Amino acid sequence: MKILIKEVTLINTGTNESGAVRDVLIDNGIINKIAQAGTLSDPSATTIDGKKKFLSPGWFDMHVNFRDPGEEIKEDLMSGCAAAMQGGFTGVLCMPSTTPPIHSKAEVEFVLNKTKNELVEVHVAGTLSHEQKGKDLSEMYDMASAGAIAFTDDKHAVQDAGLLTRALLYSKNFGGKILSFADDNSLSSKGQMNEGITSTHLGLKGIPSLAESVMISRDLQLAEYTGSPIHFSTISTKESVELIRNAKKKGLAVTADVCALHLSQDDSALENFDTLLKIKPPLRSREDITALHSGILDGTISAISSDHSPEDTENKEKEFDLAAFGASGLETTFSLTYSSLINKLKIEKIVDLISNSPRRILGLKEITIKEGENANLTLFDTEQEWIVDGSTLKSKSKNNPFTGKKLKGKAIAVINKNKFFLCS
């Protein structure tokens, strides 16, 4: 397969080519030639007009749920990969919240074997505890040997400090990455949305920001005690940002990501009881959004994820307090990220937050746009405006809160493993 991208602007952070307009020829999955714009031609290649478009390292989402095995009616591995490609992602980290959960090497091997021929590189996070019950350690070493690269109980936040301490210590023996979702259940139990003026107005039980910051404070102390690195998934409050910022200043090996939804929507968006925006952690206040933006600007937050959580209609079209948490997000994450940050960050930094920075956190090889390198690339247009059409979303579940709305910025195509996908 040959692909020639003409007159495209490269996003290649750390090289003198970043920002340059070039012709790029890809042959048999390898970047064969990068030349001055308008100088390359190849009649045997599929030619793509890259004018006013950008070519970057393939995007990576470090927090997705593909529901396979067990809940394939919501999403399966193939539809999840299709949604990732449509959103511009060439790599993902699958959370272990399946049925059964990914808590042994059998489930790890199932996911990796089923997706090995996909354009999207699917990586696996195994559970931290057996069956995500928070009592006994899972078979982390066996799962790592089978290919798992991280360990987490996902939204089943680890309440037992001793269990997390053992996990942090044990994982040091084989380089496993521990991901923590910070939520003190004793404070957040039965909460439906952010605790604040809106929750009081709507008469809904709130989830206080304290539920997150208390657990982050605890986990940071455990990480310092064990001398282990730790990553916090989908943080949402200003207190969390400040705690992690201070921990970094102390020299702790701590990283964090934020869900794109938390950068753009505050809890006032729930005034009409929109269950599509019922997520965990919940949408927070405008003050929290400002703090999250600041955390990205100063490097406290290292990555942006979709927190892609597909749910079927039956779980969403209910009274608000009965509806499931979660939103489908892979296909709209870039638009939300770009729109939220473009007036504060250069495009190179925005792209790094959804491409190589997640890879660095997880210990994966970074992608560069260079002759002789494998072509793992995303082509995108920052100016394209588009309507989110539920009928064309690739995810099986249609619980995307932006369906029917206009967004700006879109992936055009993805290339990886000598495969090419043109986004619709």
Q: Residue 372 is encoded by which pair of tokens?
A: 């002789």
**One-letter identity of residue 350:** I
How are beta strands 30-36 and 21-27 bridged, if at all?
antiparallel
**One-letter identity of residue 144:** A
The rounded distance, in Å, linking the Cα atoms of 123 and 117 is 13
Closest CA to 68 of 122, 121, 120: 122
Residue 146 CA from chain centroid, whole number: 22
| Max CA distance (Å), the chain | 65
Establish whether 307 is a catalytic residue.
yes
**One-letter identity of residue 288:** D
Out of 307, 312, 352, 389, pick the active-site residue: 307
Q: What are phi and psi of 390, to 5 degrees?
A: -60, -30
Contacts of 11 (CB under 8 A, 6+ apart): 18, 19, 54, 55, 56, 57, 347, 348, 351, 369
The rounded distance, in Å, linking the Cα atoms of 170 and 176 is 9
Catalytic positions? 307
